[in-house]
Amino acid sequence: MDVIVRHLDVGTWSLTLPATHPQARLLTTGQGVIIWPETTAGGGTGEAAAEPLLSGPVTKIRHDWSSSTGTGGTLTFSGTCDNAPLGDRLAFPDPSRAPDNGNGRYSVDYWVRQGPAADIVRELVAANLGGRALPGRRVAGLDTTPPPGTPAATGPAATARLRFDTVLSAVQTLATGAGLSVRIVQPDPTTARLALAIAPVRDLSREVRLSPQFGNLSAYSYELTAPKATRAVVAAQGQGADRFFWQWTTPDAERDWHRTAETFVDQRDTPVPARLDASDPQYTALAEAAARALEQSGQQAELSLSPIDTPQMTYGRHYQVGDTVTVTTAGGVDLAYPVREVHVSDSAETTTVQATVGTANATKTPALYGQVRRLWQAVHQLNTRH
């Protein structure tokens, strides 16, 4: 079995069985899986953890046979996690009306909400795929209400201004800004209920330390990737020669990689600014659009880890995706950043865990980029001295 769990994104799973295996009959189209981690590392009890590692539907079934595989061959079932519907739905300006109902026009330009990010996420999901969505858009069994005893959402006020964005991208923006973990999971195999689970991400950088010296890290690798764009040309309202354009750049990335790459950002719904500074809201809107484009295409740094589960440090029990952990390199450098992705491979012989630390875009963690770059430079200098 292979399972990839992703923070604020869609995970995947696959399971290969002999075609004659009794459980192969349980997985068909329309069915799914709930995968639980076991706390067996280092002589653990083998009891299931409190929460599933992942749950999700079957999206692909493959049958392989050859003369060497024997009777029946093998069946490979694969699928996504239950976060997938977040990427399947658009955030309508007015979720109470379908686009093909009425006069073909919405009475509002955007779906706008302000308040704690957790509350906005729950309302957004409920309105577009939960119990408050149009019947044809509802995800069966999805419960967006907070569990009993959940404290009122707090934190700085967030703002959502959405018009046909995917619900997933909106959730990612809101949750990242507020330091939240958001996922849809089936917590109880005896019911078809899907729960929208929202919780603050945890800073476990003091408690969870992965290092070769501690015997809980077998390997790591780090990777730097050049930016796809270093300059954003943003266009506001206007036509032809009268259209307004302005450019934003990332000089540090251009200096590091000796590269300039341009991207075009169409902001035709933004009026021409009267002043070219942050005091003008239209200029600020253009600057924010440029920043988003450069963030998505910016330089990236990534750490890949191979942790060793021990009784004191086990994935799924002591830390999860989204949690901040500390990685100590062989050179003694401490890197404390969130776990973005975990890949668990389970076979009859062994179970392996590989974690990726960082974020999808390095510009969200510029310190990680800088630290990984300094690590690379240090190794490079060491190699060139010999």
Average pLDDT over residues 176-196: 93
In whole angstroms, give the CA distance from residue 65 to residue 103.
55
In whole angstroms, give the CA distance from residue 353 to residue 366.
26
User: For the ranges 69-78, 127-136, 205-214, which has the lowest average pLDDT?
Assistant: 69-78
Q: Highest-confidence range of 189-198, 208-217, 313-322, 328-337, by mean pLDDT?
A: 189-198
- Which residue carries 């945890």 as its tokens? 202
* Angle in degrees, 0-180, between the axes of helices 117-128 and 167-178, rounded to the nearest 10: 170
Q: Do 116 and 154 meet the contact criterion of CB atoms below 8 Å apart?
A: yes
- Among residues 91, 125, 117, the alpha carbon closest in space to that of 176 is found at 117
In whole angstroms, give the CA distance from residue 235 to residue 270.
9
In whole angstroms, give the CA distance from residue 331 to residue 373.
14
Helix (H) or strand (E) holding 345, with range, is strand 334-346
What pLDDT is stored for residue 263 in this prediction?
96
> Any idea what DSSP says for residue 203?
B
Phi (first) and psi of residue 214, to 5 degrees: -90, -5
- Among residues 181, 203, 169, the alpha carbon closest in space to that of 89 is found at 169
**C-alpha pair distances (Å), 286 with each of 1, 23, 45, 230, 247:** 46, 55, 56, 16, 10
What pLDDT is stored for residue 38 in this prediction?
65
In whole angstroms, give the CA distance from residue 301 to residue 299.
7
Average pLDDT, the chain: 84
Please give the structure tokens belonging to residue 102.
């009425």
What percentage of the chain reaches a pLDDT higher than 70?
87
pLDDT in tens, 4-23: 999 999 999 999 988 888 88
In whole angstroms, give the CA distance from residue 82 to residue 62.
21
pLDDT in tens, 93-130: 999 999 887 677 888 888 999 999 999 999 999 999 99
- Between 335 and 102, name the one with better pLDDT: 335
Indicate the pLDDT class of residue 61, thresholds 50, 70 and 90. Answer: very high
What pLDDT is stored for residue 30 in this prediction?
82
pLDDT in tens, 296-307: 888 877 778 888
Please spell the DSSP secondary structure of 68-86, one letter per residue.
TT-TT-EEEEEEE-TTHHH
- The SS3 of residue 185 is strand
What pLDDT is stored for residue 157 in this prediction?
79
pLDDT in tens, 217-245: 888 887 788 999 999 999 999 999 999 99
- Among residues 51, 49, 58, the alpha carbon closest in space to that of 78 is found at 58
Q: Do 302 and 312 meet the contact criterion of CB atoms below 8 Å apart?
A: no
In whole angstroms, give the CA distance from residue 202 to residue 287.
31
What percentage of the chain reaches a pLDDT higher than 90?
47
What pLDDT is stored for residue 352 in this prediction?
83
Q: Which residues of 319-345 are buried (b: 16+ CB within 10 A; e: fewer)?
A: bbbbbbbbbbbeeeeebbbbbbbbbbe
What pLDDT is stored for residue 47 in this prediction?
52
- ∠ CA 99-101-105, nearest 5°, is 60
